[in-house]
């Protein structure tokens, strides 16, 4: 019951990095970090683009363990933020995005407090991939057949 009520990227939460493997005072290359955390080199390069600190002037990039740890801790924390109205989590972009062509589909399930479960389906405004989220409407609120339903 409580699980269905949650909106958000619950599936991605399994993707946690083993931060305890990172040694704060060691420096890591992109390759070292990707090997250590069992992720792709490109993922680590993406983190650098997203603001992961690298040692000034290092080519190829080197990053300090403590910076890497801090960055990933922050990333995980941000990801757990509940989505605001109109936000979707895109699994392709791995980011919170806005969506276009949003459709509201009633799941037909009555959730707690007499609310009706709805799925919002749309396309990621950034990459066009499918995004969806689940929420609940108070009973008697606009249905999927309502002309207003597209205005989410």
Among residues 100, 151, 152, 105, which one has the least CA distance to residue 127? 100
Listed in sequence order, the residues at least 6 apart from 43 whose beta carbon sits closer than 8 Å to its beta carbon are 34
Binding flag, residue 117, Zn ion (CB under 5 A): no
Q: Which two tokens stand for residue 65?
A: 């363990």
Binding flag, residue 92, Zn ion (CB under 5 A): yes
Binding flag, residue 100, Zn ion (CB under 5 A): no
Shortest separation between residue 98's beta carbon and Zn ion, angstroms: 10
The CA distance from 44 to 31, in Å, is: 8
Instruction: Give the one residue of 30, 124, 134, 136 binding Zn ion; rule: CB under 5 A.
Output: 124
Binding flag, residue 125, Zn ion (CB under 5 A): no
Residue in this structure with the two tokens 């990707």, named with its chain if needed? 34
Binding flag, residue 90, Zn ion (CB under 5 A): yes
Residues forming the site for Zn ion (CB under 5 A)? 90, 92-93, 124, 126-127, 129
């Amino acid at each position: 019951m409580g699980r269905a009520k949650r909106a958000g990227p619950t599936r991605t939460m399994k993707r946690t990095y083993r931060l305890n493997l990172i040694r704060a005072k060691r420096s890591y290359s992109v390759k070292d970090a990707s090997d250590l955390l069992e992720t792709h080199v490109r993922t680590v390069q993406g983190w650098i683009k997203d603001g992961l600190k690298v040692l000034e002037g290092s080519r190829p990039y080197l990053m300090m363990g403590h910076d890497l740890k801090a960055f990933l801790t922050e990333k995980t924390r941000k990801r757990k933020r509940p989505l605001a109205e109109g936000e979707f989590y895109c699994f392709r972009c791995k980011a919170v995005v806005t969506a276009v062509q949003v459709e509201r589909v009633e799941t037909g399930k009555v959730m707690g407090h007499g609310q009706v479960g709805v799925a919002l389906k749309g396309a990621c405004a950034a990459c066009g991939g499918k995004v969806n989220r689940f929420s609940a409407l108070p009973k008697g609120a606009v249905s999927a057949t309502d002309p207003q339903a597209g205005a989410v």
